Amino acid sequence: MSPAAAPALALERITCTFPGAGRAAPPYTAVADTSLRVAPGEFVSVVGPTGCGKSTLLNVAAGLLAPTAGDVRVAGELLRGLNRRAGYLFQTEALMPWRNARDNVAAGLRFRGAGRKESRERADQWLVRVGLDGFGDRYPHQLSGGMRKRVSLAQTLILDPAIVLMDEPFSALDVQTRQLMENHLLELWSADRKSVVFITHDLEEAISLSDRVVVLSAGPATRPIGEFPIDLARPRDVAEVRLTPRFLELHRQIWELLKAEVLKGHVRRERP
């Protein structure tokens, strides 16, 4: 495989097994034999029932978690330790509460040895790009949930990662804020195409954002069970695209597959 053709991120036959909680508890396999390839500049969404090990997969891709079996390749190279080419947008609050918005955005540059003044200037530019001009001096607790997500987005993108990993980043936001953020994300992404792995349990969000949707089975031992290219035209408006016939057709196709898994996951949780 030539380097140019290598996927930006490749998970090869990943299995993640955790030891049981008690002494007698059997080990728990969160992800089983999962492969996923993301081309440079491709936006891939991964959907699946809640608790199916989606976040585990992302942690493996980030290098925060070593898989029990399988390989992670980044631009063709085997990943050891943290994935330095990836940015990670977490589901829950990840900003440092003791730093204001500007210093939070500048944190990555500072960690990598950039000067204070230069880092702050670039952080201010990024705050403008995510629509937070003039909010640099606010501390995270002085910002709304949507604003904090924007700060996180700027914090991740300022480092110009080749791969962006997103773990249900907008799930805590209200519907309106969420659609604004989704459009904003598409705008930023199309200006500067990065490979994106976007994890969500919201199928509409997945279809409206992505080039490709991967469906995972219900846990435990999650694995991919379906893959759907999304051929909707870009640029998209996430609210408008949901009304097009093609969107509805894709939604119906994917939902048919996903529904069975959601029900399975449900039954397993009710009767463990």
Partner 1 sequence: MSGASGHRGAVRLLAGRILLLLGVLLVWHVLTSTGVLPKFFFGSPLTVLENAARWFVSGKIYRHLGITLIETVLAFGIGTGLGLAVGLWLALSPTASSLLEPYIKGANAMPRVILAPIFAVWFGLGILSKVALGVTLVFFIVFFNVYQGVKEVSPVVLANARMLGATSRQLLRHVYLPSATSWVFSSLHTSVGMAFVGAVVGEYLGSSAGVGYLILQAEGAFDINTVFAGILVLTAFALLLDFIVTLLERRLLRWRPTAASVERV
Where on the chain is the footprint of partner 1 (CB under 8 A)? 62, 64, 82, 84, 86-88, 90, 92-100, 107-108, 111-112, 139-144, 155-156, 159
Interatomic CA distance for residues 64 and 185, integer angstroms: 24
Q: Which is nearer to partner 1, 140 or 219 (CB)?
A: 140
Nearest to 51 by CA among 216, 179, 238, 252: 216
Q: Minimum distance between the CB of residue 251 and partner 1, rounded to whole angstroms? A: 31
Q: What are the residues facing 214 on neighbouring strands?
A: 46, 227
Q: What is the dihedral of CA 37, 41, 45, 51, to 10 degrees?
A: 60
Q: Minimum distance between the CB of residue 129 and partner 1, rounded to whole angstroms? A: 18
Interatomic CA distance for residues 214 and 44, integer angstroms: 7
Q: Which is nearer to partner 1, 157 or 203 (CB)?
A: 157
Q: Minimum distance between the CB of residue 16 and partner 1, rounded to whole angstroms? A: 16
- Other CB atoms within a 10 A radius of the CB of residue 55 amount to 16
Q: Which is nearer to partner 1, 125 or 190 (CB)?
A: 125
Q: What 3-state class would DSSP assign to 56?
A: helix
Q: What 3-state class would DSSP assign to 42?
A: coil
93 neighbors 148 (Cβ within 8 angstroms): yes
Angle, vertex CA 15, rays to CA 169 and CA 90, nearest 5: 15
Q: Which is nearer to partner 1, 158 or 203 (CB)?
A: 158
Q: Which is nearer to partner 1, 65 or 75 (CB)?
A: 65
Q: Minimum distance between the CB of residue 176 and partner 1, rounded to whole angstroms? A: 18
Residue given tokens 């408008």 in the structure block = 240
Q: Minimum distance between the CB of residue 144 and partner 1, rounded to whole angstroms? A: 7
Interatomic CA distance for residues 69 and 33, integer angstroms: 8
Q: Which is nearer to partner 1, 106 or 258 (CB)?
A: 106
Nearest to 85 by CA among 69, 73, 95: 73
Which stretches of 71-169 are DSSP H helices? Answer: 101-111, 116-129, 145-157
Q: Minimum distance between the CB of residue 158 and partner 1, rounded to whole angstroms? A: 9
Q: Which is nearer to partner 1, 94 or 230 (CB)?
A: 94
Q: Minimum distance between the CB of residue 259 and partner 1, rounded to whole angstroms? A: 31
